[in-house]
Amino acid sequence: MKSYQEVYKILAHETDYLSGEKIAEILNLSRTSVWKAIQRLQQEGLEIDSIKNRGYKLLHGDLILPQEIEANSPISVQFKPITKSTQSDAKEAMEAGAKEDTLYLSTGQTMGRGRFQRPYYSPEQGGIYMSLHLKPNLSYLDLPAYTLLTAAAIYKAVKNLCLIDLDIKWVNDLYLNQKKIAGILTEAITSVETGLVTDVIIGVGINFTIADFPKNLQGKAGSLFSQNSPITRNELIAEIWKCFYETEADELLYLYKKQSIVLGKDISFKKDQEIISGKACDISDQGQLQIQLATGEKIWLNSGEVSLTKW
């Protein structure tokens, strides 16, 4: 672990000011090295106060530590501070033969995308952007509803760590106080020879402590926390994937339906350029949404075909 990461770990566990001399003593570093580490942490966006004769105190922010995430979850982590897209990182690694159960992680994306190729706001500070590569080797019909399972794992992780209840909008968004704080994009690769889904990449974007949003998002987007978060991004990332891997699928599907803000509601959706209305009745284990139309007819919607316009 690098010096600035070690200094961060010490400051993150302190509630009061800690002198540079004491930090240097703990880590067997020079005072100059400690000062340089503080400078690096501030460049990373962490807010650190400094008072003469008292030392340093971490006021806001955290540092992504892949080693800590790996130690507390069943995945490997590849981290880039800034990337074009973690989905692209995962695809490139997959094509190069990288192993499965690897998480491609970043704190900022320059070309983040959501469903239907919509731009996904991914600033350099306050967010979590990650893509998990899996190799299911299953037929499409046997494939788990990865988007639903991931959404429920995010809900469960936040509940476990913070006792906060998130809402889930079918199929891939999580909300807090009626504002979107997270989105999921799941992509699958199928073998022409076998017809099996060989690879799946689950992309997740979470607004962790993003304070400012563009004008067009200010009424729609929110963050999990304001500036002072009770947990670190490392803790949340590890807990999400621990819940994803270690929770029975039936429990995750139950949590998904329980936290749905769509079920039982009158909704409108756009399909083939037509706006259709109905009542959301059920969500299948494969992730389809059942709608009862005004005629009484019940139909199933696939997430790749439609987008909800009102709920």
What residue numbers does the annotated binding site for biotin cover? Answer: 109, 113-115, 180
Three-class SS of the chain: CCHHHHHHHHHHCCCCCECHHHHHHHHCCCHHHHHHHHHHHHHCCCEEEEECCCEEEEEECCCCCHHHHHHCCCCEEEEECCECCHHHHHHHHHHCCCCCCEEEEECCECCCECHHHCECCCCCCCEEEEEEEECCCECHHHCCCHHHHHHHHHHHHHHHHHCCCCEEECCCEEEECCEEEEEEEEEEEECCCCCCEEEEEEEEEEECCCCCCCHHHCCCECCCCCCCCCCCHHHHHHHHHHHHHHCCHHHHHHHHHHCECCCCCEEEEEECCEEEEEEEEEECCCCCEEEEECCCCEEEECCCCCEEEEC
Instruction: Decide if 209 contacts 236 (C-beta within 8 A).
Output: no
Binding residues: 109, 113-115, 180
Residues 6+ apart with CB under 8 A from 157: 236, 239, 240, 242, 243
Residue 171: cis peptide before it, omega within 30 degrees of 0: yes
- What is the rounded distance in angstroms from the CA atom of residue 309 to the CA atom of residue 267? 8
